Amino acid sequence: LKHYVTGKAAESDMEVVATEAVELKVPEGSKDVIVLKNLYLSCDPYMRSRMTKHDTPSYVPDFVPGEVIIGYGVSKVVDSTHQDFKVGELVWGMTGWEEYSLISNPQNFFKVNHPEIPLSHYTGILGMPGFTAHVGFHAIAAPKQGEYVFVSAAAGAVGQLVGQFAKLMGCYVVGSAGSDEKVELLKNKFGFDDAFNYKKESNLNQTLQRFFPEGIDIYFENVGGATLEAVLQNMRLHGRIVACGMISQYNLVEPEGIRNLFQIVAKRIRMEGFVVFDYFANYYKFEEMTVQYIKGGKITYVEDIVEGLENAPSALIGLYEGRNVGKQVVVVSRE
Ligand code: NDP
C-alpha cells in the first residue's frame, strides 16, 4: 500500500516492488515461525476498509502504508519451527501479498485437508467467503423450507453459494447482479429460481414486488444503499435481514443514509450483522460438508482467475466495479 486512501480506491494506491533476495528460512533461533510460499491470493471487498486510516479501531486493523498488503491466501510451508506445521504442508490463512511470507503467529492458519480439490477453492468456496455464506445463511438467517430468499451481489464469491444453499434448503431464491452475463449464470449455472440485472431496473421497489409478490422472508445483504432501502419495503412479517456486507458504501467518504428503516418495527424484522472470524472454530466441519457437496455434484463454483502478483491491485479494484465474475483469485504460483 502506497498511502492511506480516502474515497474511491485505485490501482495507483498500491505498487509492486522488488526487494533484495532473502534466505527462505526461519531466522536462526526463532521459535514457532513458518515461511510460506504463497500460491493463490484472495481479493476480498473488506480489504478496502483496511486501506483507510480509522480514528476509532475498525473490526480489522488498518494496513500500514509502505508495508505489504495482507489478505487471505493459500500457501505452502517451506520452512518451519512450529510443531504443528511441517515443510511441504498446504495451508490457508492471512498471508502477505508477496511471493514468500514469514509468519510468526501461524496458529490462525487452517490446514488444506483436501488437496484433491482445486487449491484455489480454498480462497473461495472452501475458504473465508464460502464459510461466510454458510454461517450467514444457515446460522444467522435460520431458513425454513419454502421461504422466499433474496441475495444481492449474487454472482460473487459469497452470493453464488448462498443461492445454492437456499435451493438445497428448498427455498425460492432470486439474485441480483450487475450484468446480463452474471444474471445468466445465476439462473442457468447456480440454479436460482430467478435473477435480475439491478443496473437495468429504474425502480427497485417495483422490481422486488414483481419477483416477490408475497414479500421476502430472508434478505442476504451484500451491497447496502438503494437495494437495502427497496428490500425494507418488501420484507414479510418476521423477515430476517442477514447483514453480511455493504459494498456500495466502501468507497464513499460518508456512508449514505438509509430510508425505510421504520419497516424493521412495522414488519418485526430481525436484522443481524456478523463477522465470519467469530465462527472459525467450526470451520473444519464446514470444509467436510462442502467437500461432500462438491464431490457429489450438488454445488458448483465459479472463479475469476488472474495470473501474476503484478495484476493483484487491478483485480482488487475490479471488485468495486463489478469486473469479477465469480470469486476473484490471483495466482502467484501454481505449485
Ligand atoms: P464479490 O465476489 O461479490 O465481489 C463484489 C461484487 O459486488 C462485485 O462483483 C459487484 O457485482 C458488486 N458491487 C460492487 N460495487 C457495487 C455497488 N456499488 N452496488 C452493488 N453491487 C456492487 O464479493 P464477496 O462475495 O467476496 O463479498 C460480498 C459481500 O460480503 C461484501 O459486502 C463483503 O464485504 C461481504 N463479506 C462479509 C463477510 C463477513 O464476515 N461479514 C465476509 C466476507 C464477505 P455486481 O456486478 O453484481 O455489481
> To which H or E segment does residue 230 belong?
helix 225-234
Is residue 179 in contact with ligand 1, taking CB distance under 6 Å? yes
Reference 266, options 229, 239, 228; nearest CA is 239
On the question of pLDDT at 22 being above 90, the answer is: no
Q: What's the whole-number mean pLDDT along residues 157-172? A: 98
On the question of pLDDT at 21 being above 90, the answer is: no
Cα 85 to averaged position of ligand 1 atoms, centre (Å)? 33
Cα–Cα distance for residue pair 60/46, rounded to 1 Å: 9
Can you give the pLDDT at residue 4? 98
Is residue 274 in contact with ligand 1, taking CB distance under 6 Å? yes
Cα–Cα distance for residue pair 300/294, rounded to 1 Å: 7
Please give the torsion angle defined by the CA atoms of residues 121, 99, 323 and 138, in that order, rounded to the nearest 10 degrees: 30
Reference 284, options 56, 146, 160, 110; nearest CA is 110
Characterize the bridge pairing of strands 70-80 and 90-96. Answer: antiparallel
Q: Which three cell numbers stand for residue 335?
A: 505449485
Which tens digit of pLDDT belongs to each residue from 207-251? 999 999 999 999 999 999 999 999 999 999 999 999 999 999 999
State residue 310 phi and psi, 5-degree precision: -65, -20
Cα 248 to averaged position of ligand 1 atoms, centre (Å)? 8
Is residue 245 in contact with ligand 1, taking CB distance under 6 Å? yes
Q: Which three cell numbers stand for residue 87?
A: 515443510
- Ordered by where they begin, the domains of the chain are 11-124+301-331 (3.90.180.10), 128-277 (3.40.50.720)
Pocket test for ligand 1, best of 123, 137, 222 (most atoms within 8 A of CB): 222
Work out which ligand 1 atom sits closest to the CA atom of 159: 25
Which tens digit of pLDDT belongs to each residue from 245-297? 999 999 999 999 999 999 999 999 999 999 999 999 999 999 999 999 999 99
Instruction: Give Rg (Cα) of the chain.
Output: 20
Cα 13 to averaged position of ligand 1 atoms, centre (Å)? 20
Query: 42 near 329, Cβ under 8 Å?
Result: yes
Banded model confidence at residue 105, pLDDT cuts 50, 70, 90: confident
Residue with cell 451484500: 222
Cα 190 to averaged position of ligand 1 atoms, centre (Å)? 17
* ipTM score over 0.90, yes or no: yes
Can you give the pLDDT at residue 141? 98
Can you give the pLDDT at residue 219? 99
